[in-house]
Each structure stands twice: as structure tokens, then as C-alpha cells.
Amino acid sequence: MSIYELTLFIHIILFCYWLGGDVGVFYSSKFVVDSSLPTDSRLLAAKIMLGCDLIPRICMSLMLTVGGLLSHYMGIEHPTWLLIAIVLLGPIWLSLVLILHFKHHASFVPLLTKIDFYFRCAVIAAIIGSCIYAFQTNRMEGSHWILIKLIGFGFLVFCGLMIRINLKDFINTYSKLLNNIQTVEDDNKMVKSLNLVRPWVITIWIVLSLEAVVGIVKPF
């Protein structure tokens, strides 16, 4: 197996676990907000949901690095500084994801959460800027489909931020659920929050599928 084939394999695995894991998270979330279930059952569903949620987050954090290396092995030349940035992006982003997941009770987490939010905003801005530059300089001649995939990924990151913003009531009420002090109003807030998130989740599924189609067909 060549390095290109290995990188392509990892790219496909990341796609599969991102989409599959995301579906699992969304499905299990329905049981968390089901007020007809005992609290223990809802907490177990929440534990499953949070555990499954780590997989898509890991896949997203590594996807840009793997995709960038894949384009490199396909013959798209990157300046040395850009190649180094692409290689470092994955481990840095992954570290943020893992720390926020496993150290969520630590005192520094609120600050790190803000850093992570603006970090993702910076990733979106960098993707848009690099795509505009690549298009204007015709750097991706014969491989403009890569630009489509990049823009699509940037939009996926944006969808993730929208989910985070609309999930605040769900998260705040979950803390009450842990202490078994939630009210009917709290349960309604959780359901409403989940309903606000649903369109963004479905959009992620659609865009991920379209990204796969573009990668296979390579239309431009």
C-alpha cells in the first residue's frame, strides 16, 4: 500500500465514522429528553450520547490535515510553511477536542471552550481565504473540486458552531438532570433546544454526503 493509498483509506474511515457517529449521537439524544423515562435511563442515554459524540469530533479535527496531505500526494504542491501548518493542525485541534472531553470539570475549561470556538472561526476564515486565493491564482487548475470540498468543510465547521450555540439550554438543563432537580420547564427547554439543533444536524449529514460525491466524481 502506497502512502497515498494509506492516506486515502484514513480519509474514508474518518468520513464513515464522522457520519455514522453523528447519526448515533442524534438518535440517542431523543432518549435524553424523553421525560417519560426514569432519570437513570436518561442519564445512561446521555452517557452513551456523549461517548459517541467524541468520535465525530475526532474525525472533524483530523479531516483537514488528512485531506491536505491527500491533495499533496495527488500532486498539488503546497509551500513548505503551508504543509507544516496542515500537518500541525490535526494534532492541535485533536488535543483541544480530547482535553475538553476528558477534562470538562477542570477550572480552565470555560476559557479553553472560548479558545476552541474562536479557533474554529479562524479555521473557517482561513479556508475561505485560501480558496479565494487558490481560485484567483488558478493554483488548483484541473482540481477545482478540491476547493468545493474545502468550502463544504468550512460550512460543516460553521454548522458545528451553530449547534453549539443552540445547544446551550440542553447543556444547562443536563446539569440539573445529573442532580435530579430538573423541572417540566427544564425538560421543555431541552426538547426546544434539540429541535433548534435538528436542522443543522441534518444539514451536516447532507453536506457530508455531497462531499463524498464530489470526492468520487471530481466534477471540475
Least confident of 3-12, 149-158, 174-183, 191-200: 174-183
pLDDT score of 122 more than 90: yes
Specify the higher pLDDT residue, 179 or 44. 44
Say which amino acid occupies 43. L
Which pLDDT value is given to residue 163?
A: 95
The C-alpha cell that represents 67 in the structure block: 485531506
pLDDT above 70 covers what percent of the chain? 100
- Structural domain harbouring 26: 3-217
Residues 6 or more apart whose CB falls under 8 angstroms from that of 207 comprise 152, 155, 156, 159
Which pLDDT value is given to residue 212?
A: 94
Q: What is the dihedral of CA 132, 134, 137, 143, to 10 degrees?
A: -130
Residues 188-213, mean pLDDT to the nearest whole number: 94
pLDDT score of 116 more than 90: yes
**Structural domain count, the chain:** 1
Cβ-in-10-Å burial (0-12, 13-18, 19+) of 18 comes to buried
Q: How far apart are CA 189 and CA 196, in angstroms?
A: 11
Which pLDDT value is given to residue 171?
A: 86
Which pLDDT value is given to residue 180?
A: 78
Residues 122-126, mean pLDDT to the nearest whole number: 97
Q: How far apart are CA 173 and CA 12, in angstroms?
A: 36
pLDDT score of 187 more than 90: no
How many Cβ atoms are within 10 Å of 15's Cβ, its own excluded?
19
Which pLDDT value is given to residue 207?
A: 96
Which pLDDT value is given to residue 218?
A: 87
**Residue in 70, 75, 65 with CA at minimum distance from that of residue 127:** 65
- The pLDDT-based confidence of 121 (bands split at 50, 70, 90) is very high
Residues 174-181, mean pLDDT to the nearest whole number: 81
What pLDDT digit, counting tens, does each position of 68-88 carry? 999 999 888 888 999 999 999
**Residue in 158, 73, 97, 24 with CA at minimum distance from that of residue 150:** 158
